[in-house]
């Protein structure tokens, strides 16, 4: 068996009908070795218009969002809303193991291409539907966008500064969350199919995906009639506990450090000792017995009084210096990285996390984040870059489905491909 | 009544603490895998000792921190510092299909449980080692946990306002990225084993998983040299776009207008006020140029309505909009209630209405079957006698020696 076939999901074919809400699912399956066919309407997925772009050239073949979330997929164009297009889709669906889609609830059924129709002739099919709110329910027809999903999932409320509006992630997270969680549901259904031969429908709600990310938020209301609040650079731990700062500016960026007490109080003392060695530890700070403090008993005013000289100390030193001293002295202090730091991380390059992916048509070899795990058996790797619009039409329609070149031209002229 | 479960018969040892590993094994447990969480009162999972607590007072069995992420699992109390504790663990390893752990690297090795040794006990075992930064490398031994890792992975630097410090994410966000990869790798490995008979050891890095969710920004840096920073609620391809203040205390509605059609519909909803006809708001490009002014004008309108009203008016016109939901909103959300996202289960200590959470995916033929999270050590005897076939005398002897603590 070639190494290709040893990849985890190599024997399986995925038909990917998604827009950006679901791209990540097909990508993860493809990166694990599945044969993913991205199906776009003729002209390409409208979300290809979203930047940033390769060298800022606004072009549907150069969207970095498209590049990032559509690796390891081949691409065809097909208008499934036409009779001929739907027929072609059914031919492909007959041999597929997975279909992933993110149309509004009911859309595929209206085209007679929904789960019940497909499972009639392919009972093993697993169809995964990713929508903002799910297939049923009072909000099922609501429109969403990243900020809407994040807001209605309850995560946005606790991000940002208290004196400003709640804030979202500047790198959109809801698409990746929905896709990744959809993959877990899909593979659970797949295992069931391995045992029984039966497929099924997997219904993924982006709102729920985010609500699950919202941590203990609902518990604060359920248990204490309280609300989990946003705290900016501090950590909110419930109304009965003081709020510690955790993000501190330093000379050349930011560091992550929290005031620790009781069993971990020695780590705070270690920092105060370091400050003292620089003559920057005020008496009132040196006098505190951190190890005998219970965090619940600390008052917010005292905490802020102690944090203040610590903040001043951090401001005077670089991340590297602070990091080195922290390691030496057992202080739990860590750098806060930006995107550049991630790319330059010695740990990530040691692990060979980065993968070079060829883009021959733009003459580029681009460094991509690879797959986050290795295996002694079948380590997954990105198979190829994201497809161009209709890039594999001939491979699929002619080589696989046996259409002629004339058929293809005719379908293309009719706008079906 | 028994409904068939997707992962019936899959046997999992869960040695993981805190969030990443447990969330991954929750996915398996809720769909029928037999997941044995190995715990010890000598070293409690941090989720058992952080509030809030059902009943208001600290109790290792009642925090939602633990309940939410440990549904449907068995709990075995096992003292791994006791020499016979490891013997019992080895019996579990022989029994299991999958073992999940997220320790600092070398812990398993210290116990004599490196992969080679595991294979001697169980040749086809699937081992998932979900450490923070991977088993090897210059930072492999660095102690870390969720809030720190979220900063290391680059998330804080992309949350917040350009003129303020980076903001925390509320939850330790990387603990909600890595588990999906852990679960997916486990399921892919189970598929691989079904086809080839072979187990494997998977060395997963939570940090790398987190970086995967920043891919578009990473590519933007690698290709264009741009470092994505904090942009508040701005979006390059939409305006209006943001959180707008509504009536009431700290009530907000988000609105996202991307297309020309949505802009036209938006103008209709807000009554076609004069300002909407100004050239400076006519196109997306123009609105982006005048975004501060635009946001001020939009907020003048939203301030007269409740967040729910804004959402409903916008949605009726086909415009993405939504209440920025807080803890209370989540519990009362109509759609989440319809989906049954929050579930109240019968818990041994708390009673019949203990709040737990389900997952975002619903399987039509093999729906999840949630059971309350276990009290510590609730299932020790069950695991030993029913799953491991341990004779009663042996169990009693080990119990008296303090192995099951």
Q: Are B10 and B72 in contact (CB under 8 A)?
A: no
Residue A126 has pLDDT above 70, yes or no: yes
For residue A180, which residues of chain B lie inside 8 Å, CB to CB?
177, 180-181, 184, 213
What residues of A are in contact with residue B361 (Cβ under 8 Å)? Answer: 181-182, 184-186, 188, 202-204
Shared domain check, B282 and B179: no
> A337-394 pLDDT, tens per residue?
999 999 999 999 999 999 999 999 999 999 999 999 999 997 899 999 999 999 999 9
Q: What is the CATH number of the domain that holds B157?
A: 3.40.50.10540
Chain A nearest C-alpha distance from B38 (Å): 23
Same domain, B252 and B306: yes
For residues A140 and A202, state if they share a domain: yes
Q: Identify the pLDDT of residue A2.
A: 44
> CATH number for the domain including A290?
3.30.1540
Does residue A101 form part of some domain? yes
Interface size A-B, in CB pairs within 8 Å, comes to: 496
The ipTM is: 0.98
Residue A1 has pLDDT above 60, yes or no: no
Residue contact B151–A254, C-beta within 8 A = yes
Residues B133, A372: Cα–Cα separation, whole Å = 10
Identify the H or E element spanning A277. helix A265-277
Final residue belonging to a domain, choices A285, A302, A336: A336
In a domain, B220, yes or no: no
**pLDDT single digits (tens) A176-195:** 999 999 999 999 999 999 99
Given a cut of 50, is residue A4 above it in pLDDT?
no
Q: At what angle do helices A174-196 and A206-213 cross, to 10 degrees?
A: 110
Residues A37 and A161 in one domain: yes
B377 and B256 share a domain? no
Please tell me the distance from the alpha carbon of residue B365 to that of residue B4, in angstroms, as a whole number: 8
Mean pLDDT of A256-271: 93
A37 close to A387: Cβ distance less than 8 angstroms = no
- The CATH number of the domain where B263 resides is what? 3.30.1540.10
Q: Cβ neighbours of residue B332 under 8 Å, at least 6 residues apart?
A: none
- Residues of B taking part in catalysis: 175
Q: What is the mean pLDDT of residues A232-259?
A: 93
Sequence-separated contacts (24+) of A326-332 with Cβ below 8 Å: A329/A270, A329/A271, A329/A273, A329/A274, A330/A266, A330/A267, A330/A270, A331/A257, A331/A267, A331/A270, A331/A271, A331/A274, A332/A257, A332/A258, A332/A260, A332/A264, A332/A267, A332/B143, A332/B148
B36 and B83 housed in the same domain: yes
Q: Whole domain around residue B118: which residue ranges?
A: 11-213+340-400
Residues B284, B146, single domain; the answer is: no
What is the predicted pLDDT for the residue at A3?
Answer: 47
Contact A375, B135 (CB under 8 A): no
Q: What is the pLDDT of residue A67?
A: 98
Compute the mean pLDDT over every residue in chain A, rounded to the nearest whole number: 96
Percentage of chain B beyond pLDDT 70 is: 100
Q: Output the pLDDT for position A263.
A: 86
| Residue whose C-alpha is closest to residue B378's, from B36, B31, B75 | B75
Note whether A167 and A41 are same-domain residues: yes
Q: What integer pLDDT is reported at residue A7 of this predicted model?
A: 77
Region B146-175: mean pLDDT is 96
For residues A320 and A358, membership in a common domain is answered with no
Confidence of residue A6 (pLDDT cuts 50, 70, 90): low
- Asked if residue A386 and residue A248 are part of one domain, the reply reads no
Domains contained in chain B, number: 2
B126-131 vs B98-101, strand pairing mode = parallel
- Among residues A274, A303, A336, the one where a domain terminates is A336
- For residues A17 and A151, membership in a common domain is answered with yes
What are phi and psi for residue B347, nearest 5 degrees?
-110, 135
pTM, two decimal places? 0.97
Q: For residue A66, is pLDDT > 90?
A: yes
pLDDT at A5 over 80: no
Residues B76/B387, Cβ–Cβ less than 8 Å = no
What's the start-to-end Cα distance of chain B, in Å?
A: 34
Q: Which of A286, A306, A336 is the last residue of a domain?
A: A336
For the stretch B262-306, pLDDT in tens is 999 999 999 999 999 999 999 999 999 999 999 999 999 999 999
Question: Which among A175, A109, A104, A100 is positioned nearest to A145, based on CA atoms?
Answer: A175
Q: Is residue A226 part of a domain?
A: no
Stretch A142-171: mean pLDDT, rounded? 98
Q: What mean pLDDT do residues A201-211 have?
A: 98
Does B356 touch chain A if contact means CB atoms closer than 8 Å? Answer: no
Question: Are B69 and B164 in a shared domain?
Answer: yes
**Residue A68 is part of which domain span?**
3-213+351-413
Assess whether pLDDT exceeds 60 at residue B91.
Answer: yes
pLDDT digits (tens, 9 = 90+) for A297-332: 999 999 999 999 999 999 999 999 999 999 999 999
Q: Are both B164 and B27 inside the same structural domain? A: yes
- Per CB-CB distance under 8 Å, the chain B contacts of A11 are 195
CA nearest to B157 within chain A:
A338
Let me know whether A255 and A355 are in one domain.
Answer: no
Tell me if B143 and A332 make a contact (CB, 8 A cut-off). Answer: yes
Name which of A344, A356, A357, A352 is nearest A379 in CA terms.
Answer: A352
At which residue do the structure tokens 């772009």 appear?
A53
The reply to whether residue B52 touches residue A216, judged by beta carbons under 8 angstroms, is: yes
């Amino acid at each position: 068996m070639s190494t290709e076939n040893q990849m985890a999901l190599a024997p399986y074919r995925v038909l990917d009908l998604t827009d950006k809400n679901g791209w990540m699912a097909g990508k993860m399956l493809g990166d694990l070795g599945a044969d993913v066919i991205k199906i776009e309407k003729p002209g390409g997925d409208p979300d290809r218009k979203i930047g940033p772009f390769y060298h800022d050239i606004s072009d549907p073949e150069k969207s970095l969002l498209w590049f990032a979330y559509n690796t390891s997929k081949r691409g065809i164009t097909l208008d499934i809303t036409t009779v001929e297009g739907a027929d072609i889709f059914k031919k492909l669906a007959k041999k597929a193991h997975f279909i992933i889609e993110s149309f509004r609830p009911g859309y595929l059924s209206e085209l007679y291409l929904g789960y019940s129709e497909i499972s009639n002739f392919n009972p093993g099919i697993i169809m995964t539907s990713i929508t903002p709110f799910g297939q049923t329910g009072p909000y099922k027809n609501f429109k969403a966008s990243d900020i809407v999903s994040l807001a209605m999932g309850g995560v946005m409320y606790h991000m940002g500064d208290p004196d400003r509006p709640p804030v979202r992630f500047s790198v959109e997270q809801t698409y990746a969350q929905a896709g990744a969680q959809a993959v877990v549901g899909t593979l659970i259904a797949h295992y069931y199919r391995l045992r029984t031969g039966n497929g099924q429908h997997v219904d993924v709600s982006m709102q729920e995906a985010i609500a699950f990310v919202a941590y203990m938020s609902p518990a604060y209301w359920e248990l204490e009639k309280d609300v989990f609040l946003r705290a900016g650079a501090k950590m909110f731990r419930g109304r009965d506990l003081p709020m510690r700062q955790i993000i501190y500016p330093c000379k050349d960026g930011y560091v992550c450090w929290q005031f620790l007490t009781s069993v971990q109080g020695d780590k705070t003392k270690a920092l105060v000792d370091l400050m003292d060695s620089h003559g920057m530890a005020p008496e009132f700070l040196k006098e505190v017995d951190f190890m005998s403090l219970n965090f619940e008993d600390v008052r917010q005013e005292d905490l802020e009084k102690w944090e203040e000289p610590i903040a001043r100390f951090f401001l005077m030193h670089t991340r590297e210096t602070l990091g080195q001293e922290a390691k030496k002295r057992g202080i739990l202090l860590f750098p806060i990285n930006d995107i550049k730091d991630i790319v330059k991380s010695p740990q990530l390059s040691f692990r060979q996390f980065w993968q070079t992916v060829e883009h021959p048509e733009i003459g580029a070899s681009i460094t991509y984040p690879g797959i986050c795990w290795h295996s002694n058996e079948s380590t997954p790797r990105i198979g190829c870059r994201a497809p161009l619009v209709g890039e594999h039409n001939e491979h699929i329609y002619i080589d696989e489905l046996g259409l002629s070149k004339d058929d293809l031209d005719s379908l293309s002229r009719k706008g079906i491909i | 009544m028994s409904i068939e479960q997707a992962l019936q018969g899959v046997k999992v040892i869960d040695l993981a603490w805190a969030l990443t590993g447990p969330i991954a094994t929750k996915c398996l447990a809720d769909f029928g895998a037999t997941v044995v969480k190995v715990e010890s009162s000598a070293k409690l999972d941090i989720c058992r000792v952080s509030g809030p607590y059902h009943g208001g007072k600290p109790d290792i069995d009642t925090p939602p921190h633990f309940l939410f992420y440990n549904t449907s699992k068995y709990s075995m109390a096992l003292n791994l510092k006791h020499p016979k504790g490891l013997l019992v663990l080895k019996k579990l390893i022989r029994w299991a299909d999958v073992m999940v752990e997220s320790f600092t690297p070398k812990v398993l090795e210290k116990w004599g449980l490196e992969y080679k040794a595991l294979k001697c006990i169980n040749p086809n075992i699937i081992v998932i080692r979900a450490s923070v930064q991977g088993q090897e490398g210059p930072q492999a031994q660095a102690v870390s946990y969720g809030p720190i890792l979220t900063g290391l992975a680059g998330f804080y630097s992309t949350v917040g306002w350009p003129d303020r410090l980076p903001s925390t994410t509320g939850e330790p966000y990387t603990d909600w990225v890595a588990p999906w990869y852990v679960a997916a790798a486990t399921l892919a490995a189970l598929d691989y084993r079904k086809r080839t008979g072979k187990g494997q050891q998977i060395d997963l890095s939570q940090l790398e998983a987190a970086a995967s969710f920043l891919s578009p920004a990473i590519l933007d840096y690698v290709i264009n040299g741009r470092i994505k920073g904090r942009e508040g609620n701005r979006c390059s391809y939409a305006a209006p776009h943001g959180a707008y203040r509504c009536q009431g205390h700290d009530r907000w509605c988000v609105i996202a207008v991307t297309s020309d059609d949505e802009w036209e519909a938006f103008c209709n909803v807000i009554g076609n006020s004069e300002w909407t006809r100004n050239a400076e708001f006519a196109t997306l490009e123009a609105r982006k140029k005048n975004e501060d002014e635009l946001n001020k004008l939009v907020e003048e309108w939203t301030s007269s309505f409740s967040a729910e009203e804004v959402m409903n008016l916008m949605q009726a016109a086909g415009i993405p909009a939504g209440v920025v939901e807080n803890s209370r909103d989540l519990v009362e959300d109509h759609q989440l209630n319809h989906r049954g996202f929050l579930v109240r289960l019968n818990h041994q200590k708390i009673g019949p209405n203990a709040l737990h959470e389900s997952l975002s995916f619903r399987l039509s033929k093999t729906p999840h079957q949630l059971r309350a999270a276990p009290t510590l050590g609730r299932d020790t005897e069950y695991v030993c006698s029913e799953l491991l076939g341990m004779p009663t005398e042996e169990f009693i002897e080990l119990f008296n020696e303090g192995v099951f603590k």
